[in-house]
Amino acid sequence: MRIVRARDYKDMSRKAANIISAQIILKNDCVLGLATGSTPIGIYDTLTHWCEKGDLDFSQVKTVNLDEYVGLDGCHDQSYRYFMNKNLFDRVNINKDNTHVPNGKAENAQEECERYHRVIESMGGIDLQLLGIGNNGHIGFNEPSDVFEEKVHKVELTESTIQANSRLFDSIDEVPRYAYTMGIGEIMSAKRILIVASGKAKAPIVKELIEGPVRPEVPASILKFHSDVILIADEEALSLL
């Protein structure tokens, strides 16, 4: 794992946006695996700015998101489809037909997992997968477990994730209890992985990620077995190392 030290959130965002931008320049019809959450917002702002300036062209880019809450449709302001439209897709010249997020309103969970797995496969592999990291080490919504789940699956969110995500809902009772997520196998199949972390709250898990063993209780630890992973973290997130 290559570790890139950023000064602060802004610097982390620019550095990560530079890597995504280079990927798009090198392969204009690349497949980007994308994440939601607070951490990538600055990255999406930066990419939007470069696209507006005419330095970046999303017209051929294809995207596949990591996860979605079960029960929320794409119009719900806390759904990940809504987040992606608002923070990136509605602001750049991407063809929305080429953007994919699991369907939180699917009637049959098993069929939705299989459908989304086929979507990922049909894209011919992810060129660059962007990841954040949960305080408990989750990537996508692969929560701490005693196994690494391979493929897209429906997952019950842990109390710590529900707690962390409740800041975005009116009350904790409104936070969905389940989500669809890409599996560890699909994430690990990406050609290159870019993981970003910012702030003091992430310092303990970043230390565990870098110094701890590979184990499913810390899902992100599996990234050590991937041959092309870049971690961009700011001073605060690296402060316990």
List residues near ligand F6R by CB under 6 A: 35-39, 66-67, 132-134, 138-140
The tokens describing 137, both together, are 């080490």
Buried b (16+ CB within 10 A) or exposed e, 153-169: bbbebbeebbebbeeee
Name the strands in the sheet holding 2-6, side by side, starting at the edge strand that comes first in the sequence. 2-6, 229-234, 192-197, 128-131, 31-34, 62-65, 99-100
Identify the residue whose tokens are 């990234």.
Answer: 223
Active-site option among 68, 112, 143, 186: 143
> Which candidate, 164, 183, 173, 223, places its Cα nearest to that of 71?
173
Q: Report the residue closest to ligand F6R, judged by CB.
A: 132
Active-site option among 65, 112, 127, 136: 136
Name which of 57 and 77 has its Cβ closer to ligand F6R. 77
The tokens describing 207, both together, are 């230390």
Residues contacting 200, CB < 8 A, separation 6+: 236, 237, 239
Establish whether 138 is a catalytic residue.
yes
R_g (Cα) of the chain, nearest Å: 17
> Which candidate, 25, 3, 32, 27, places its Cα nearest to that of 15?
3
Q: How far apart are CB 63 and ligand F6R at their closest, in Å?
A: 12
Establish whether 226 is a catalytic residue.
no
Establish whether 153 is a catalytic residue.
no
Active-site option among 67, 186, 208, 236: 67
Active-site option among 65, 87, 112, 138: 138
Name which of 51 and 131 has its Cβ closer to ligand F6R. 131
Name which of 34 and 56 has its Cβ closer to ligand F6R. 34
Establish whether 73 is a catalytic residue.
no
Q: How far apart are CB 160 and ligand F6R at their closest, in Å?
A: 10
Q: How far apart are CB 38 and ligand F6R at their closest, in Å?
A: 4
Distance of CA 237 to the CA centre of its chain: 17
62, 123 Cβ separation under 8 angstroms: yes
Name which of 39 and 48 has its Cβ closer to ligand F6R. 39
CA torsion sign for 46, 34, 31, 18 is positive
Name which of 37 and 176 has its Cβ closer to ligand F6R. 37
Q: Which residues are catalytic?
A: 67, 136, 138, 143
